[in-house]
């Protein structure tokens, strides 16, 4: 803490990057959320977070820089291909590491070949995990973010729901499942949040938020916390939205790791292994009402009554037809 001009200033040293920052919206929201949190807690003035991003598209990169200026934020936005030429490096030429990483990459990108991954010089694709497959770069992004975290770093990334389950339950090997298995067995995945459908402007599909933690608390090790918030939305035009109360409930649930019927569940790694490393909350948490099962004898008795009633109806109809000469 440092005194400045008679008011208290909280010096925040946390560094937060985004490897595919777009126009910088997520980085801006990190700053806004921190400011609101500090104001609610003690009203202290704050110093900005250190924010870093890299963007591939020049026009979007320019917008991100404008956003940083408009919101008076400290940081750096670089331009270039994060996979082939990550700009944030340390003095040894390796990836620079950060306290927090947030990202919403484009889903299911057909981005690289296996040779591109094999030639990687930044230790992002370790033995046992390797190349996640050409058809989707989702887990390639996750691997880059994991490699960009400090030893106690944490990350949150928005992905297609398929990233949580593709390849599970199929005979033979699957590259995405292999990477997912590596993350589970290395105990890096802390939580998975399943979002409602039709939230995003470029798709009606639901998504997930994958939370990574390289220094999980002892009581959370060997487990993954799953939250199925698929029903927690209100209809909007043109898109659905999660109301403020729902956002707060989701946040409280994730922070507390509190199990709640039809919403959240703590799943042991052994159970994830039995489910072939499917980590989708929808696999383990069912939000619909449970089906009601009736005894067979009761159903048979009801069918007998229906058949008897049908016979009586047929007899009455036959008598009426005979009376009118048909």
Residues 278-290: pLDDT tens digits?
999 999 998 875 5
pLDDT reported for residue 277: 96
pLDDT reported for residue 300: 67
Q: Is the pLDDT of residue 16 over 80?
A: no
Residue 208 pairs with which residues in a beta bridge?
159, 194
Residues 173-223: pLDDT tens digits?
788 999 999 999 999 999 999 999 999 988 899 999 999 999 999 999 999
Residue 191 pairs with which residues in a beta bridge?
211, 225
Helix axes 175-185, 138-147, angle to 10 degrees: 30
R_g over Cα of the chain: 27
* Residue 66: CA count within 13 A, CB half-sphere: 8
Degrees, nearest 5: CA angle 226-227-233 = 160
Residue scoring higher pLDDT (320 or 21): 21
**Using H for helix, E for strand and C for coil, what is the string for 129-152?**
CCCCCCCCCHHHHHHHHHHCEEEE
What is the band of 43 on the pLDDT scale with cuts at 50, 70, 90? low
What is the band of 34 on the pLDDT scale with cuts at 50, 70, 90? confident
């Amino acid at each position: 803490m440092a005194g400045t001009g008679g008011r208290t200033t909280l010096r925040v040293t946390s560094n937060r990057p985004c490897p595919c920052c777009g126009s910088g919206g997520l980085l801006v929201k990190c700053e806004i959320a921190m400011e609101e949190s500090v104001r609610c807690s003690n009203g202290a003035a704050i110093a900005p977070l250190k924010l870093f991003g890299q963007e591939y598209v020049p026009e979007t990169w320019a917008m991100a820089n404008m956003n940083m200026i408009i919101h008076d934020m400290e940081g750096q936005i670089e331009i270039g291909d994060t996979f082939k030429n990550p700009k944030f490096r340390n003095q040894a030429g390796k990836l620079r590491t950060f306290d927090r990483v947030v990202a919403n990459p484009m889903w299911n990108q057909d981005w690289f070949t296996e040779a591109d991954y094999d030639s990687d010089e930044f230790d992002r694709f370790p033995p046992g995990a390797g190349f996640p497959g050409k058809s989707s770069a989702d887990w390639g992004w996750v691997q880059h973010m994991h490699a960009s975290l400090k030893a106690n770093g944490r990350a949150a990334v928005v992905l297609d729901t398929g990233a949580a389950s593709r390849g599970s339950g199929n005979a033979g090997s699957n590259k995405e499942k292999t990477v997912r298995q590596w993350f589970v067995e290395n105990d890096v995945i802390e939580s998975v949040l399943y979002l409602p459908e039709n939230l995003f402007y470029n798709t009606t599909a639901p998504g997930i938020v994958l939370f990574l933690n390289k220094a999980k608390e002892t009581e959370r090790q060997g487990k993954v916390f799953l939250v199925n918030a698929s029903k927690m939305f209100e209809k909007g035009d043109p898109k659905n939205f999660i109301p403020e109360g729902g956002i707060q409930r989701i946040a409280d649930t994730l922070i507390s790791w509190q199990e709640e019927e039809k919403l959240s569940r703590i799943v042991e790694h052994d159970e994830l292994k039995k489910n072939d490393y499917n980590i989708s909350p929808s696999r383990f948490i069912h939000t619909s009402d449970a089906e009601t099962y009736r005894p067979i004898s009761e159903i048979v008795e009801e069918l007998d009554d229906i058949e008897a009633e049908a016979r009586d109806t047929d007899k009455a109809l036959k008598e009426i037809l005979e009376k009118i000469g048909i």
